[in-house]
Structure 1
Amino acid sequence: MVGVISKFFTNIVNKYLPDPLVFAILLTIITFFLGITITPHSAMDMVNMWGDGFWNLLGFAMQMALVLVTGHALASSSPVKRAMTRLASVAKTPAQGVMLVGFSSAVACAINWGFGLVVGAMFAREVARRIPKSDYRLLIATAYMGFLTWHGGLSASIPLVAATKGNPMEKIAGLIPISSTIFTTYNIFITVALIILVPMLARMMMPKENEIIAIDPALLQDDTAAVVKALGPEATWAEKIEESRILALVVGVLGIVYLGAYFAKKGFDINVNTVNMIFLTAGVLLHKTPMAYVRAISAAARGTAGILIQFPFYAGIQIMMEHSGLGGIITNWFVNVATAETFPIMAFFSSALINFAVPSGGGHWVVQGPFVIPAAQALGADLGKAAMAIAYGEAWMNMAQPFWALPALAIAGLGVRDIMGYCVTALIFSGVIFIVGLHFL
């Protein structure tokens, strides 16, 4: 049954899902017209909001581009490739391979979303190399499906922000400690259940051998450009210092000392910047020379085009949703009909709908928090569960929103239509887990 469903959605996606940039443009148009029809704002107001917000995610876009290129460069180093090869060798059949990718990605994303998103796609490529009869599209889709666990894990942005002083909801509801969000029975159940579900679901979605689409072998070739360049006796001083292992060691030591001091002061606080610092420090050390690392980064940078061009469009959409009040109106459609018992489910579905326009955990807290949290207080609903409902809705609908798939697709060399049919299938079955956890636990 699962295979039939995934095949159906794959056919639908192949016919109707446009390129992610076109998808973002269509969402911009839809948000614009909803803003001028169901909010009191004029067309010019919406234009100004869009333009004012268009560049608001430049810092985040740079962070995500660096997650991609530093993660890719790290994974292309010889020691990491050998480690992934040894782990991938555990799987002997296509079924074992796809289940291993699903489990590894789900666990990695629960530890840190940026780490899991990049390493999961890298590991899927390695499994595809070792098991030639694997369906490469399903392997990459499975790596992305592991992203379902991120908002219940240690790097979950909404519960971490809700527990941080100075966050937008502190004056309304006070701080919501992580003991009421991440470390709750229902969240542990949901996260563990997803870690189990993703590999099992991937196994059931495997196409028959005669239905596997051949993949260009060039996509699976190792990048040999990042090796240390051998210098002859005629090498110039400039060439020698470019291939200096001492300079790479200096950078590595600086990074290690900084990270050690940071974690000693902040505790286990892993965010996008610390992930990038870890990736960069380890990458420079493992590639051994500055220019070897530059070559690895250059090879990885080709995949950042989608991130660089699409993030500004989503920044514009987010500001239109936030400043026009459209996000609040949509949220209120759901929470106004909720009871204390059904409130988490209503908040979950409202978050899922808004995720099409605001595919960002932090963005959801800004757009939805001012409406969801006061409503939860008025109904006497659990504030921690209300916050997690927003978080889960965002994580869940990522399976139908291609925004976060961009890094994985860039690493894999695939298009969004290659994986999204499988991801929509995962959306359907994982929804049961989220609903059970939110309503019954």
Structure 2
Amino acid sequence: METHDSPPLAVRPQAVPDHPDEGKTLLQRAVSSCVYLFERVMPDPFVIVILLTAMVACLALVFAPKGTPEVILTGWYKGIFGIFTFAFQMVLVLVTGYALASAPLIKSGLRSVSKLAVGPVSAVLLVFGVGAVATFLNWGFGLVVGALLSKQVARQVRVDFAWLVAAAYSSWVLWAFTGMSSSIALSIASPGNPLNIVEQHTHSAVPLAHTVFAGWNLLAGIAAMVLIPVVFILMRPADKDVIAADAALLEAEDKKVDDTADSRAGTFAGRLERSRICALLFVLAGVGYLAIQWTRHGVSLDINTVIFIFLLAGLCLHGSPRRYVGAVTEAAKVTGPMLLQYPFYGGIMGIMSATALDETVAHAYIHVASSTTLPFLSYLASGVITLFIPSGGGHWAVQGPFTIPAAMQLGASLPGTSMAIAAGEMAGSLLQPFWAIPVVAIAGVGVQRVLGFTLVIFLTAGSLLGFVYLFVVPVWAGT
């Protein structure tokens, strides 16, 4: 049997009972079944993308008006390379956010904030609240901040570590529809973006004021941010069931040696690499550019601007080019799956567009939906699609091309329908381990137990958002 080395977990191994389901509640048994599905049934996300590509190609052959093998292959090839710009932008969103969160000042701030936790309840509220704020600013930043704060809080309070990390992850998934780096919201807000499906059909972009900062979306986000921590408090593990973090492992991580010193430290090149002046000049130039643009054209946030702001902030807080390069290098280690899978998402989009399969699906959508039910149906479909396409950009590349035309023909709200897809992505991510992997890797805890807690959040918060998109958005967002 093939074996794989893995980093040590920051929790102590527990004895497995002879009868694992003995004494478990119905909910605990359901969680065990979910863990079994993740471990034994669901393959690697890259394999899922390959299978999904084959499935879409077969559907195009059977149902698409232009579904010939030549058109399918040509559309697939063009789609793979047509998404490169957006794919790199999404990778930079993660990398710049990760690098910013690892800056010494941010880490020191997290240590200070963690001291506010005096018990399990305050610990979970603190981790969730800080994680939600960080995620609102940037999803890559929030991803790392939540995991790092969980580790700091675990030093202060005896608390179930997986429960705490699950709270951090649950705060992070809110980025999909409430954060300024929401990939779907930024896509339709960025003129000329290859994934701005709305602009391709209406010739106009949708600003964040009509999506992330719309009143109905803020209401949904606030409701979710109130409900989720309440549910976490209610499902807090009993003291006898708590699996706390291993303090020895956490302390060992703090003692890792800084490798910034090298043989070139005293040379001209070494001094340049550590020069704060070099970093400051770059930051000042960037701030100057933003000041000029925002003064002349008003403040606007598209994907490039978000990336640029966090690039400047990260370089400023790290203080030198060398330190920032090291932070970016560490961040890049978790981007491999994104780099591999995004082109395949583009290929799927290319097949659907070239063969007109997206139009065929849109017509089918129209037959079962109305202007008031389309946002809700889009939300449900999005949650299912997220289980197979666990990334906002690739997800939107598949669902956007057939949902937006349907919304236009039915007269449904384009911002409301688009954000319904984003909210569905958030709900589905609570069951999809793809994005949980970086969190548990940073925290040092097993993913299975974390997903057991997030399953409950999926059922509760997911139901709340379903209510919002069925009854509130059609009335408030209008058409």
TM-score of the aligned structures, taking structure 2 as reference length: 0.75
Matches within 5 A, 1:304-323: 304-323=335-354
Task: Report the counterpart of residue 346 of structure 1 in structure 2.
Answer: 377
SS at 1:195 equivalent: helix
Cα gap change, 1:378 to 1:304, in 2 (>3 Å): closer
The whole-number CA distance in structure 2 between the counterparts of 1:418 and 1:314 is 29
- Contact 2:181/2:306, CA 8 A, preserved across alignment: no
Task: Report the counterpart of residue 198 of structure 1 in structure 2.
Answer: 228
Letter in 2 for 1:28: T
Task: Report the counterpart of residue 22 of structure 1 in structure 2.
Answer: 47
SS at 1:270 equivalent: coil
Q: In structure 1, which of residues 280, 290, 293 is the aligned counterpart of residue 311 of structure 2?
A: 280
Residues 414-423 or 87-96, more deviating: 414-423
Spell out, residue by residue over 1:169-228, the C-alpha distance to the aligned partner (whole angstroms, 9 max, x if none): 458557567665445443222111111122223334444455556767657724855586
Cα gap change, 1:318 to 1:162, in 2 (>3 Å): closer
The whole-number CA distance in structure 1 between the counterparts of 2:45 and 2:218 is 33
SS at 1:54 equivalent: helix
Q: In structure 1, which of residues 285, 289, 297 is the aligned counterpart of residue 328 of structure 2?
A: 297
Q: In structure 2, which of residues 266, 291, 296 is the aligned counterpart of residue 260 of structure 1?
A: 291
Letter in 1 for 2:98: H
Spell out, residue by residue over 1:345-387, the C-alpha distance to the aligned partner (whole angstroms, 9 max, x if none): 2232233344456555566666555654554455454444334
Task: Report the counterpart of residue 88 of structure 1 in structure 2.
Answer: 114
Letter in 2 for 1:195: M
Letter in 2 for 1:289: S
- Contact 1:61/1:308, CA 8 A, preserved across alignment: yes
Cα gap change, 1:387 to 1:243, in 2 (>3 Å): closer
1:186 aligns with 2:229: no
The whole-number CA distance in structure 2 between the counterparts of 1:366 and 1:305 is 20
- Contact 1:109/1:150, CA 8 A, preserved across alignment: no
Task: Report the counterpart of residue 104 of structure 2 in structure 1.
Answer: 78
Shift of 1:84: 0.9
Q: In structure 1, which of residues 124, 138, 160 is the aligned counterpart of residue 150 of structure 2?
A: 124
The whole-number CA distance in structure 1 between the counterparts of 2:83 and 2:26 is 38
Structure 2 portions without partners, runs of 5+: 1-24, 473-479
Structure 1 portions without partners, runs of 5+: none
Letter in 1 for 2:274: E
- Contact 1:89/1:130, CA 8 A, preserved across alignment: yes
Shift of 1:259: 3.6
The whole-number CA distance in structure 1 between the counterparts of 2:281 and 2:259 is 19
The whole-number CA distance in structure 1 between the counterparts of 2:267 and 2:208 is 57
Task: Report the counterpart of residue 141 of structure 1 in structure 2.
Answer: 166
- Contact 1:55/1:315, CA 8 A, preserved across alignment: yes
The whole-number CA distance in structure 2 between the counterparts of 1:252 and 1:97 is 36
Cα gap change, 1:222 to 1:331, in 2 (>3 Å): farther
Matches within 5 A, 1:53-64: 53-64=79-90
Cα gap change, 1:60 to 1:282, in 2 (>3 Å): same
The whole-number CA distance in structure 2 between the counterparts of 1:222 and 1:370 is 47
The whole-number CA distance in structure 2 between the counterparts of 1:324 and 1:413 is 45
- Contact 2:101/2:145, CA 8 A, preserved across alignment: yes
Matches within 5 A, 1:21-420: 21-39=46-64, 41-42=67-68, 45-131=71-157, 133-135=159-161, 137-146=162-171, 147-158=173-184, 168-169=197-198, 181-208=211-238, 211=241, 221-222=253-254, 229=261, 235-356=266-387, 361=392, 368=399, 371-373=402-404, 375-376=406-407, 378-405=409-436, 407-408=438-439, 411-412=442-443, 417=448, 419-420=450-451
Letter in 1 for 2:284: V
- Contact 1:142/1:199, CA 8 A, preserved across alignment: yes
Shift of 1:341: 3.5
RMSD: 3.9
Residues 182-191 or 405-414, more deviating: 405-414
The whole-number CA distance in structure 2 between the counterparts of 1:241 and 1:42 is 58
- Contact 1:77/1:286, CA 8 A, preserved across alignment: yes
The whole-number CA distance in structure 2 between the counterparts of 1:56 and 1:211 is 50
Cα gap change, 1:417 to 1:326, in 2 (>3 Å): farther
Residues 342-351 or 44-53, more deviating: 44-53
The whole-number CA distance in structure 2 between the counterparts of 1:306 and 1:369 is 22
Cα gap change, 1:329 to 1:152, in 2 (>3 Å): farther
Cα gap change, 1:24 to 1:340, in 2 (>3 Å): closer
Aligned residue pairs, count: 439
Shift of 1:288: 2.7
SS at 2:313 equivalent: helix
Residues 366-375 or 51-60, more deviating: 366-375
